[in-house]
């Protein structure tokens, strides 16, 4: 009986640089009892299957954690409904007692006080549980983020088809985590779209989705996000645009988050054709009502591209200068933003000596209807965004940290210097915009999709019964 032995010799990286035959043969006859030996020479960069198996095992563990947290969130929602009913009932009861205090004995009043203390204890218990659960969600998000980075590295270095199945599993986990976080955040802040708050208090840690759809870190200039005023049926749509320079030509839209991560574009729009040139420049565009608002390349102006009709138009911004850009990138002369109050554009003029000017855009007339002058010098700013009619500006603290350092309130015409630090995934970013539909900041950071949850001060709430959670 002939036994065939397969011996694998892994060559060092220096040897692998030389051309080698993967199989070597030995001539001669093989008699009974002899061994037939084949030597296989494989390069040192073989696919790390063990690493992929470990990632799949981790996916199972994370899935179990998420299932537990989803059950907890469902429990929080049911408890919250019960507690709110108790609060409403007590509120009604206390109002009746206030109207006719002499009709109630001291013993009855003491019983009501005990009920109030019981509800207070229940609320404090729920608050502690929710905060603990959110800490777990943050940990899960970190784990998924780290693994997505590893998968992206494997996908760019090896055959991406080998990684595809595992990536799909993690995308499902990401979607499940997004849904769990959304429901969790609704408990904390059920008023998305409302401006009944005291401004930004803090940002979450950066949430890294993955490398861009071009699967190329060289696409450092670009942006991504969601439509700030989506058409009916497009509430889950995402968009992405990027380039190796500051030009703006292609915009891709994706049905939902899964399609974005799987790089399965629903449609890609091209702003350039043989019969027209609608290309732009800079990296501060937004999509609102299925329309791309961006900086037109020639002539220098603001433009909008209607993705429904696939037509474009532009308007010159009075006095806007091409000489002043943000700190991190050139050609960011017109910066578009959308918030709960509408559509905005920031720029600088020679007259303002490079200080930021903020304009409110009439979306129907596509023209500036009001302008505000600020005192902050645009080239010192990393980027800006709008929330509830308030302009926020960022700047660099160090290679790991930026901060929101300035805010201008268009309603009061007052400006303030603040310090709200936040971590960066990598040092430089060219895109930062807020979306009012989910109260997130979307950042394009050296080719990666990055986002942040935004938390608000609640000191402007109206005086109505509320749960302090």
HSE-up of 321 (CA within 13 Å, CB side)?
Answer: 16
Q: Are residues 144 and 238 in the same domain?
A: no
The domain tally of the chain equals 3
CA-atom Rg of the chain in angstroms: 29
Neighbour-count burial for 210-224, b at 16+ CB within 10 Å, e otherwise: bbbbbeeeebbbbbb
Q: Are residues 284 and 365 in the same domain?
A: yes
Q: Are residues 255 and 230 in the same domain?
A: yes
Region 201-207: what's the mean pLDDT?
89
pLDDT tens by residue, 407-445: 999 999 999 999 999 999 888 999 999 999 989 999 999
Q: Is residue 185 part of a domain?
A: no
C-beta of residue 223 within 8 angstroms of C-beta of residue 284: yes
Q: Are residues 118 and 7 in the same domain?
A: no
The sign of the dihedral angle between the CA atoms of 70, 71, 77, 83 is negative
Question: What pLDDT sits at residue 188?
Answer: 52
Q: Are residues 281 and 394 in the same domain?
A: yes
Q: Are residues 91 and 158 in the same domain?
A: yes
Question: What pLDDT sits at residue 369?
Answer: 96
Region 146-150: what's the mean pLDDT?
69
What CA–CA distance (Å, rounded) separates 265 from 285?
Answer: 19
Please say which residue of 127, 143, 176 terminates a domain.
Answer: 176
* pLDDT reading at 332 higher than 90: yes
* pLDDT reading at 1 higher than 90: no
Q: Is residue 82 part of a domain?
A: yes
Q: Are residues 304 and 394 in the same domain?
A: yes
Question: What pLDDT sits at residue 86?
Answer: 75
C-beta of residue 244 within 8 angstroms of C-beta of residue 222: no
Q: Which two tokens stand for residue 33?
A: 């009892």
* pLDDT reading at 68 higher than 90: no
Question: What pLDDT sits at residue 451?
Answer: 92
H or E stretch covering 229: none
Region 90-103: what's the mean pLDDT?
77
Edge to edge, what strands does the sheet with 250-254 contain?
Answer: 221-226, 238-243, 250-254, 267-270
The residue with greater pLDDT, 355 or 463, is 355
Q: Is residue 131 part of a domain?
A: yes
Neighbour tally for 350: CB within 10 Å: 11
CATH of the domain at 283: 2.120.10
Residue 262: pLDDT band with limits 50, 70, 90? confident
Q: Is residue 169 part of a domain?
A: yes
The rounded mean pLDDT for the chain is: 79
Residue 194: pLDDT band with limits 50, 70, 90? confident
The residue with greater pLDDT, 100 or 417, is 417
The sign of the dihedral angle between the CA atoms of 429, 432, 437, 438 is positive
Q: Are residues 24 and 121 in the same domain?
A: no
Q: Is residue 368 part of a domain?
A: yes
Q: What percent of the chain has pLDDT over 90?
A: 48
What CA–CA distance (Å, rounded) separates 218 from 216?
Answer: 5
Q: Are residues 217 and 154 in the same domain?
A: no
* Domain residue limits at 426: 200-455
Q: Are residues 23 and 60 in the same domain?
A: no
Q: Is residue 181 part of a domain?
A: no
Report the SS3 class of residue 97. helix
Q: Is residue 183 part of a domain?
A: no
Q: What are the residue ranges of helices labelled H in 18-158?
A: 49-99, 106-157
Q: Is residue 166 part of a domain?
A: yes
C-beta of residue 450 within 8 angstroms of C-beta of residue 207: yes
Neighbour tally for 353: CB within 10 Å: 11
Q: Are residues 299 and 402 in the same domain?
A: yes
Residue 139: pLDDT band with limits 50, 70, 90? confident
C-beta of residue 96 within 8 angstroms of C-beta of residue 441: no
Q: Are residues 300 and 443 in the same domain?
A: yes
């Amino acid at each position: 009986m002939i036994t065939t032995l397969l011996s694998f010799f892994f060559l060092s990286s220096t040897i692998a640089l030389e051309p080698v035959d993967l199989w070597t043969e030995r001539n001669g006859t093989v008699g009974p009892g002899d061994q037939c030996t084949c030597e296989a020479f494989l390069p040192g960069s073989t696919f790390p299957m063990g690493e992929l198996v470990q990632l799949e095992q981790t996916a199972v563990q994370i899935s179990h954690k998420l299932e537990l947290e989803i059950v907890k969130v469902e429990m929080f929602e049911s408890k919250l409904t019960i507690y709110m009913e108790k609060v409403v009932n007590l509120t009604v009861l206390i109002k009746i007692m206030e109207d006719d205090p002499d009709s109630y004995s001291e013993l009855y009043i003491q019983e009501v006080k005990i009920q109030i203390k019981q509800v207070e204890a229940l609320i404090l218990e729920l608050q502690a549980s929710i905060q603990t659960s959110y800490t777990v969600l943050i940990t899960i998000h970190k784990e998924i983020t780290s693994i997505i980075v590893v998968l992206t590295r494997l996908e760019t270095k090896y055959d991406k088809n080998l990684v595809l199945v595992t990536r799909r599993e993690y995308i499902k986990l990401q979607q499940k985590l997004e849904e769990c976080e959304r429901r969790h955040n609704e408990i904390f802040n059920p008023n998305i779209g409302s401006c009944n708050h005291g401004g930004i208090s803090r940002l979450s840690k950066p949430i890294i989705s993955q490398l861009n759809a071009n699967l190329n870190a060289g696409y450092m200039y670009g942006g991504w996000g969601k439509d700030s005023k989506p058409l009916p049926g497009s509430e889950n749509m995402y968009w992405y645009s990027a380039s190796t320079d500051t030009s703006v030509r292609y915009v891709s839209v994706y049905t939902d988050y899964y399609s974005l991560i799987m790089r399965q574009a629903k449609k890609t729009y091209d702003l350039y054709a043989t019969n027209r040139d609608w290309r732009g420049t800079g990296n501060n565009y937004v999509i609102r009502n299925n329309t791309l608002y961006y900086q037109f390349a020639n002539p220098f102006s603001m433009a909008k591209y209607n993705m429904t009709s696939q037509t474009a138009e532009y308007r010159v911004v009075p006095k806007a200068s091409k000489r002043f850009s943000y700190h991190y990138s050139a050609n960011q002369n017109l910066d578009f933003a959308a918030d709960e109050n509408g559509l905005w554009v920031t720029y600088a003029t020679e007259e303002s000596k490079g200080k930021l000017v903020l304009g409110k855009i009439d979306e129907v007339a596509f023209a500036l209807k009001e302008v505000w002058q600020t005192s902050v010098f645009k080239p010192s700013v990393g980027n800006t965004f709008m929330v509830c009619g308030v302009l926020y500006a960022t700047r660099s603290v160090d290679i790991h940290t930026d901060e929101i350092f300035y805010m201008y309130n268009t309603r009061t015409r007052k400006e303030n210097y603040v310090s709200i630090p936040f971590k960066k995934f990598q040092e430089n970013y060219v895109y930062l915009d807020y979306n009012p539909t989910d109260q997130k900041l979307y950042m394009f950071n050296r080719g990666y999709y990055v986002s942040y949850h935004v938390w608000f001060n609640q000191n402007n709430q109206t005086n109505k019964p509320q749960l302090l959670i």
